[in-house]
Amino acid sequence: MAAEGLEKFTEVPVEFFKDGTAFVKKCQKPDLKEYFKIIRAVGVGFIMMGVVGYAVKLVHIPIRYLIV
């Protein structure tokens, strides 16, 4: 009974790994050109957001200094 339970307990992850690796193998991977295109798009968006956000943060430094 206990052994059976244990077997079931190990069976699920093993099954999952099998399915998962099979899936990843079947997956369409991005080619280099596509990958760089996406990196550029996401990178530009990310850096733009970051610069705007950091600008707001920088504005806070003098405010902090003035009011506290």
Partner 1 sequence: MFPFCSMTIGTSRQFGFFILVRLLDLVKFFLPILPEVEFPYERISFDERVVFTVASGIIFLFGQLPIYGLVANAQFKIIDPLYNFRTIFAMEKGTLLELGLLPAITAGFIWQLAVGLKFLNVNLNLAKDRELFQTGQKLTSFFLSVVYTAGLIYSGYFDNVINGYDVLSDSLPLGWYAFIFVQIVGWSFFTTLLIEVFDKGYAFGSGILCFLTLQTATNVIKDLVGLEIFPLINSNKSETYGALSNLLKSFTSFDLTVLKQNIINAFTRSQLPNLTQFYISILSILVVIFLQNFRIEIPIRSTKVRAANNVYPIRLLYTGALPVLFTYTVIINIQIFGYFLVSILTKYNVSPSLVALIGKYNVPSFANNYQLTTGVLFYISNSSSIIASLLSPIKSVVYVAFSIVLSTWFSQKWCYISGSGPKDTSKLFKDQGISIAGKRDISITKELSRVIPVAAVSGAFSLIALALAGEILGGLGKGVSIIVGVSSAFGILEEFLLEYQQTGGNSQFSSAFGGL
Partner 2 sequence: MSSSSAQAPGGLRSVAKRKATADKKAQSSSATPLSTRSAGAGGSSSTMMKLFTDEAQGLRVDPLVVLFLAVGFIFSVIILHVFAKITGKFT
Binding mask 9-48 for partner 2 (x = CB under 8 A): ----------------------------------------
- Interatomic CA distance for residues 59 and 43, integer angstroms: 24
Does the CA dihedral 26-32-36-37 come out positive or negative? negative
C-alpha triplet 35, 41, 42: angle, nearest 5° = 90
Q: Which is nearer to partner 1, 1 or 61 (CB)?
A: 61
* Chain contacts with partner 1 (rule: CB under 8 A): 16, 19-20, 23-24, 26-30, 34-35, 38-39, 41-42, 44-47, 49-54, 56-58, 60-61, 63-64, 67-68
